[in-house]
């Protein structure tokens, strides 16, 4: 399966016709795959490099320093550092859970960090201020840039769906998006092959779209919709190449579109070059993610443009924050 790679400069710098064509190609990839890759995405390479470098610096801190800004579990937006196994991603999909099991034994071999809007007073961020003083300003700069890019992508999606300009983007201001940094420590292939422990179990994300930069190790896989239940690798860029932005549709957009554009199911498995091995050790992996989300009081029920007599609403009305609370409650 070949995941489309689109040149986003055709939207950022193109003619009205090129913008329309890019928007339609974007929606086509999302409908067929739930994913797309964007090159010339408009995020400066310096920002991408610093985002990824800060990810590695954070997880290199000693355990006791990370525990000083640890996330408190609960049905709320996550803030701070979380240890391996803190959330049970597998519970987000019933198909992951064996008969007679609660799913609690299905762990992710991953630690992670979350941060929300820089000025968030409702759910304040937790930062490693003393142990890594440059981290907060770097993340806040990256947040601003990634939010800006996400709004451009959503504008392109409006064009691709022939919706009025800003009919979706106005639902995203003020921002409630979140940064997510992941570290997958080295792990034995034997442990992963046993089935209960995965780098990340199959799931979908909560927001509108997710933006992801992965390192060169690989392991991100998306579900092949032509063969449900099977997964294909999202191959990372080779070292030295300009960055490619991986974008996937998330649950909120599936709800807004009344199921027309479905969220992309994905997981993190062993790197492509280690597939089929029965022993050995997977190298460490890092990813730097941005969950682009609707503002908290916005409805995540189906939009009127996607509801007809022939296709009635299949999702209930609720706010974006209520939806996030419900999803986060499942994780814990």
248-303 pLDDT, tens digit each: 999 999 999 999 999 999 999 999 999 999 999 999 999 999 999 999 999 999 99
Which secondary structure element, helix H or strand E, spans residue 114, and what is its range? strand 111-115
CA distance 194 to 199: 12
5-30 as b/e: b if 16+ CB within 10 A: ebbbebbbeeeeeebbbbbbbbbebb
Neighbours of 326 (CB within 10 A): 12
Residue 2: pLDDT band (50, 70, 90) is confident
pLDDT for the residue numbered 324: 98
240 falls in which pLDDT band (50, 70, 90)?
Answer: confident
| pLDDT tens-digit map of 70-86 | 999 999 999 999 999 99
The DSSP letter of residue 73 is P
Q: What confidence score (pLDDT) does residue 239 get?
A: 82
For the entire predicted model, the pTM comes to 0.97
Per the structure, the count of domains in the chain is 1
For position 248, what pLDDT does the model report?
Answer: 99
The rounded percent of the chain whose pLDDT value lies above 90 is 96
Predicted pLDDT at 303? 98
- pLDDT, residue 278, reads 93
Which pLDDT band holds residue 6 (cuts at 50, 70, 90)?
A: very high
* pLDDT over 90 (residue 25): yes
pLDDT reported for residue 237: 86
What is the predicted pLDDT for the residue at 253?
A: 99
Domain extent at residue 220: 5-331
Kindly state the average pLDDT of the residues 160-184: 97
**Per-residue confidence at 140, pLDDT binned at 50, 70, 90?**
very high
The share of the chain scoring above pLDDT 70, in percent, equals 100
User: Please, which pLDDT band fits residue 161 given cuts at 50, 70 and 90?
Assistant: very high
Radius of gyration of the chain (CA): 19
Euclidean distance between the first and the last CA atom of the chain, given in angstroms as a whole number: 34
Band of pLDDT at residue 238, cut at 50, 70 and 90: confident
Averaged pLDDT score across all residues of the chain: 96
Taking the C-alpha atoms of residue 287 and residue 266, their distance in angstroms, rounded to an integer, is 14
- The CATH number that applies at residue 186 is 2.60.120.330
Q: In what order do the strands lie in the sheet with 111-115?
A: 5-7, 35-39, 245-249, 209-214, 285-292, 178-184, 111-115, 80-82
Tokens of 203: 């799931």
């Amino acid at each position: 399966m070949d995941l489309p790679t689109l040149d986003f400069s055709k939207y950022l710098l193109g003619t009205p016709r090129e913008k329309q064509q890019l928007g339609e190609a974007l929606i086509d990839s999302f409908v067929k795959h739930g994913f797309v890759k964007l090159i010339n995405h408009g995020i400066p390479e310096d920002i991408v490099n610093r985002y990824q470098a800060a990810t590695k610096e954070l997880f290199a801190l000693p355990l006791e320093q990370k525990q000083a800004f640890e996330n408190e579990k609960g049905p709320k937006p996550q803030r701070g550092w979380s240890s391996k196994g803190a959330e049970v991603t597998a519970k987000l999909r019933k198909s992951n859970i064996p008969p007679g099991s609660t799913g609690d034994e299905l762990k992710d071999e991953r630690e992670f960090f979350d941060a929300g809007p820089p000025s968030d007073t409702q759910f304040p961020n937790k930062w490693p201020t003393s142990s890594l003083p440059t981290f907060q300003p770097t993340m806040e700069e990256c947040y601003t840039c990634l939010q800006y890019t996400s709004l451009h992508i959503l504008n392109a999606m409006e064009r691709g769906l022939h919706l009025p300009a800003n009919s979706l983007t106005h639902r995203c201001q003020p921002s409630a998006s979140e940064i997510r940094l992941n570290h997958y420590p080295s792990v034995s292939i034997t442990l992963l092959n046993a089935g209960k422990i995965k780098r990340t179990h199959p799931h979908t994300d909560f927001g509108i779209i997710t933006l992801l930069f992965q390192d060169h190790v690989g392991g991100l896989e998306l579900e092949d919709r032509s063969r449900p239940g099977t997964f294909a690798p999202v191959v990372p860029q080779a070292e030295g190449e300009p960055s490619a932005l991986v974008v996937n549709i998330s649950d909120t957009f599936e709800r807004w579109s009344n199921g027309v554009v479905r969220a992309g199911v994905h997981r993190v498995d062993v790197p492509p070059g280690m597939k089929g091995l029965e022993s050995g050790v997977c190298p460490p992996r890092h990813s730097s993610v941005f969950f682009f989300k609707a503002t908290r009081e916005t409805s995540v029920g189906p939009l009127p443009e996607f509801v007809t007599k022939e296709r009635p609403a299949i999702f209930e009305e609720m706010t974006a924050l209520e939806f996030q609370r419900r999803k986060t409650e499942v994780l814990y």
